[in-house]
Amino acid sequence: MRHYRPRMGCRIPEQTVVHPTKCNVVHTCSENVVNHIHPTHTTVVNHHLPNQHYFPRSTSANQVNMNGGPMAPHMNGCRRC
């Protein structure tokens, strides 16, 4: 196999081939504290129902025997308080 050397006066132009750019992706990770605020509002509604007040009364009568002895029972067999 013979190698031919170019002559000084006649040079072969160099050929240049440009390839597509190679992309490199570098992933980095870091921990950051991220505060997530979820506000809540509570409204308290008081429902007042009409109140009815009752004042029951009772009456009692004491009978005192001025003679100091016990009182005689009534005809139906019960004593009054």
For 1-13, what is each residue's pLDDT tens digit? 565 565 666 777 8
Backbone Cα Rg of the chain: 59
Contact between 79 and 73 under an 8 Å Cβ cutoff? The reply is yes
Residue listed under structure tokens 């009692």: 60
Positions of the chain with pLDDT under 70: 1-9, 68-81
Contact between 61 and 80 under an 8 Å Cβ cutoff? The reply is yes
Virtual torsion, Cα 16, 19, 20, 24, nearest 10 deg: -120
